[in-house]
A and B are shown apart, each in its own frame.
Chain A
Amino acid sequence: MSFVRRNLVLLLGLLVLVYMYIPNVIVALMSFNDSSHARNLYRFQSFTWDNWLHPCRPDGMCAAVGKSVEIGLLATLVATVLGTLAAFALVRHRFHGRGSMNIVLFLPMASPEIVMGSSLLALFVATGFGGRLGFWTILIAHVMFCLSFVVITVRSRLAGLDANLEQAAMDLYATEFQTFWRVTFPLVFPGILGAALLAFSLSFDDFIITNLNAGQTVTFPMFVWGAAQRGVPMQVNVVGTVMFLIAIAVVVSGEVLSRRRAKGLVA
């Protein structure tokens, strides 16, 4: 009993963590659910490998996943590049309008998605793009809401970087260009990578803004939403589980790599 009392806070914290994982466990379980007999009942019927062997059976699902990956990668690329540049500007350079820029960067994180989505839709309609909603309008929206998160992630990494290191490089005969690629960039890179990962997950997962600006284009969350009205194919859970496993793998390998680096095992 004294063990419980001593570690009460930790145990409670773990309990909260378990609570956060209940849905993931359900999703993983349901990916093995054979729902061919009762499509409309969202409950476990019997075990099958079928969903994993034929993930693309539901009409349009894999196309939607592909579309989401495509948009996710592009939005991540654009937002990461632009956001990293902006983070450098904010940390390393002086310019007029810095204060308002900080506010503009903060606001997207403090606005409800429904408001951002409807504003963008209002803009597209007002400028005559209302009939041409689709891939490009989704991409524009995704880059927009990813930017702030990228800037903030890279900025905090950059701000934590000791400016002396760059001066030391310059002192040791590295030109500005060499200093950037040999010292600054390698040190900020983990931050940039983290920002990219975050941007991709935000983009891949977004529904509210996307749905308003998608036109006829269907992303994976939109597919799930549409399916939810009729009965969700169990293969959706396969995609959810795979995404989760990929993310875990990326994070774990990053952690292992940085640990081995810290121990000096990898050059």
Chain B
Amino acid sequence: MVALTPETDPTPDAVAGGPRQRRKLTGYWLILPTAVWLGLFFVVPFYSLLATSLFDPDGSVLTGYDVTYHFANFGHALSEYWQPMVRSLWYAALATAFCLVLGYVLAYAIAFRAGRWKNLMLVLVVAPFFTSFLIRTLSWKLILGDNGWVVDALQTVHILGSDNRLLATPIAVVAGLTYNFLPFMVLPLYASLEKIDGRLIEAASDLYASPSRAFFKVTWPLSLPGVVGGTLLTFIPATGDFINASLLGSPNQRMVGNVIQDLFTTTGDYARAGALSVILMLIILVLVLFYIRKAGTEELL
């Protein structure tokens, strides 16, 4: 142990420099595996995807592909599949809005009204996750099914016509998306709300704010980081999802995820699938950056 601090070296910098130098390198060693893994299997694949999107569309898995800078892939992909693309964004936006309303109520209840049941309720929010979400989505198929009680009830009160259905409609798909991504909304909202000092709301009502004014002037602005985080975590995966559209919708509710999935696995049209993926990513990136700038919570990144 004595050897670590040689007595022959009296200058403090040299003595302190030894361990400090080692400490400096430790950081790199610790981060290295994760950096390499994410670099190889997350960052580099984006380049591959970009390259794929510029493939010669006449190639195939067997003959191989050439990067021919075939930018026309983008044009073709867009002109052919703009409908599912727009539909995806629209459905995701709707689902995000519903999630925000439902999620806010639940998160608010947990943060301010749950008392000693707070932890239990939080666990309950996450617990349904552990049943495979495919299975849960399938059970919505049963609930919303043509002979299910929901349809029956709605038909009885004439909200739904006697031969109208829920399954295979946009309603079912958006409902499924809302259900599936609700926890992604609740958790960030809760994290934000929980930090709010309850006395601030009391102070607001002390200063003559009605409950609703106190909410919109105090609680809501302070929970904005959670709102931004939650909406992003809901909107982004919802846009790329194709499981709800497949299981609860019909071909008329095809989302861009369905198209990409089919192009890759069934059709084998890698070039067009790649181009569509790149477009989806770009749209999301632009929307997200615009949104974050607008909401003014750049520290989120």
Measuring CB to CB, which residues of chain A are less than 8 angstroms from any residue of chain B?
7, 9-10, 12-14, 16-17, 19-24, 26-27, 30, 42-43, 82-83, 85-86, 88-90, 92-95, 97, 101-116, 118-123, 125-126, 130-131, 140-141, 143-144, 147-148, 151, 201, 204-205, 207-208, 211-212, 220-221, 224-225, 228, 232, 236-237, 239-241, 243-244, 246-248, 251-252, 255
Q: Is B147 part of the contact surface with A, judged by Cβ < 8 Å?
A: yes
Number of A-B contacts (CB under 8 A): 268
A194 to chain B, nearest CB (A): 10
Bound: A148/B34 CA distance, A: 9
Q: Is B30 part of the contact surface with A, judged by Cβ < 8 Å?
A: yes
Q: Is B239 part of the contact surface with A, judged by Cβ < 8 Å?
A: yes
* Given known contacts A94-B24, A118-B49, A251-B127, A42 and B142 CB-to-CB distance under 8 angstroms: yes
Asked whether, in the complex, the Cβ of A120 is within 8 Å of the Cβ of B143, the reply is no
A61 to chain B, nearest CB (A): 12
B-side interface residues, number (CB < 8 Å): 88
Asked whether, in the complex, the Cβ of B102 is within 8 Å of the Cβ of A19, the reply is yes
| Chain A residues, Cβ within 8 Å of B179 | 19-20, 23
* Residues 110 to 150 of chain B near chain A (Cβ within 8 Å): 110, 112-114, 119, 121, 123-125, 127-143, 145, 147-148
Asked whether, in the complex, the Cβ of A22 is within 8 Å of the Cβ of B142, the reply is no
Asked whether, in the complex, the Cβ of A118 is within 8 Å of the Cβ of B38, the reply is no
Bound: A261/B237 CA distance, A: 39
Asked whether, in the complex, the Cβ of A86 is within 8 Å of the Cβ of B132, the reply is no
| Chain A residues, Cβ within 8 Å of B121 | 13, 17
Closest 4 CB pairs of A and B: A112-B240, A13-B109, A93-B27, A119-B45
**Could you name 27 residue pairs across A and B whose Cβ atoms are closer than 8 Å?**
A10-B114, A12-B105, A13-B113, A14-B109, A16-B105, A20-B128, A43-B145, A82-B34, A85-B31, A85-B33, A86-B33, A89-B28, A104-B42, A106-B301, A110-B233, A110-B288, A111-B281, A112-B241, A115-B240, A118-B277, A125-B48, A126-B48, A147-B34, A201-B129, A204-B132, A237-B135, A255-B123
Asked whether, in the complex, the Cβ of A243 is within 8 Å of the Cβ of B108, the reply is no
B70 to chain A, nearest CB (A): 15
Bound: A18/B114 CA distance, A: 15
Q: Is B83 part of the contact surface with A, judged by Cβ < 8 Å?
A: no
Asked whether, in the complex, the Cβ of B134 is within 8 Å of the Cβ of A228, the reply is yes
Bound: A128/B114 CA distance, A: 55
Encode B144-171 as 1/0 by CB contact (under 8 A) with A. 0101100000000000000000000000
| Chain B residues, Cβ within 8 Å of A240 | 131-132, 135-136
A94 to chain B, nearest CB (A): 6
